Structure 1
């Protein structure tokens, strides 16, 4: 069973009847993903309903109870990893029910006003205070305020994430992506950040991408366009298809592409060395291939590719060579 802080909070909000439609959808997806998830939720819900009288009685002070258990919770959670809990006292009894069966939530620092989400166990989805949705790639970190009170909606990203931003022309959404700054009003796009370079790929709407250090002209990117910052300059290009979201969807689609193009992309997306043997016939390399992959291992992908392209795979450790038959 897989559990994370975002699901913990949604369950607590569900128990008190305050989960949003998007949060309910995320909870439904988590429940459907594994029968053990449903069993865990049923146990929490049963414990919650059995304890209604206790938590709602005049003699039970949920605020005081939270103050008693909060130091124990924060001591168990790695420093810096928090989760937003707007008006958290309303969920204290729901959270207590979760804690009773071994799940841990953490109240954010009262004076920081900031929330940090680390996707350490896998991709993670979070709903921001403005109802924008962010899918955070495994190993990435997102920091955002508990409320967007200023003239801008500012967040910071380390790693890669896909943003679906709620439109608000009066309050731009600004991402500090380490080496670049990304500004939007309302759109969906992918950002991969780094200290020396970054990429932005737009799925819908319009995005402004600006380098933070280099003296370069910002890019204005629209649907299907890709911005790349290499540390020295910003470059814009057109992007075909949505394979750039492979990390999120697990899906790759190729329509009339040459073998070399496909293997180069597979090498990139699977972070694996894949080369074509120098003796591969020119007609095999030049053939146009149409093929799709859906959440398959690299071995299954390459075997399927070679069945279509009339070649074979030679593996040496973690490296693959596509050989002629």
Structure 2
């Protein structure tokens, strides 16, 4: 503790009691946002060109056949009734039947969701560790050669689109060196070693995209705290610099750092469409692309809701973690 400036106030029952309404308010706000997002998703998906019944039957179908299938699918019902039915099914965990596969949407998603979660989880762990190391090291060595090198590297990665990183990865590691497969063949019977080797290039591509932005935001937050008077006072009193960074700077910088990480990690579920397409990865993002192509609205809407719910959940967790770590944010 240094002059009381860096130590967080002790948690009391009254201060903890004040947290409950704040967290409940954030949760209710997220649920309201998700409800509004569901309206947008249902409306926008209905505006897509083409007809789902026509796509299923093909161009040779007669108008009577198309009309009969539209009635069977419920597409001739008013939009507000279809929305209420669909939203009720989402709440119950039954998003309906796929127009194209003629099987429950939940079953189709359950086959793909573990692959996306595994890909996102591995990338998140690697990216978070690398971003913290790079961001903190760069902030501590501001103006030095290490800081300059890391800044140039992260800026270059931020400027490079994911399809270019993925393509370069395939050219180097698959075509030239023959180390890794260019197509992610993820099967249920594959072992962990084979699965990790197959997922190496998708993880590498996503990590390069995510870690750069996370590292830059971490650097900015830590550097801002290092310029505060309490850091100078602590150093004058002889507190080890490593202790200052770990126990005083990081708790105060955790708010923007956690939010930056949540924003970056939310990309892994919905923003990995290009990477999954390039490597033919059987994940949720590529499934949504196929749903758009085939006008499979129940499948498309369900995938979009999962992506949006994941994003809101990550931002909610980031807010709660930041509030718990930094008492000043509770105001």
Q: TM-score range by the shorter chain?
A: under 0.3
TM-score normalized by the length of structure 2? 0.22
Query: In proportion to residue count, which structure has more helix?
Result: 2
TM-score calculated relative to the size of structure 1: 0.22
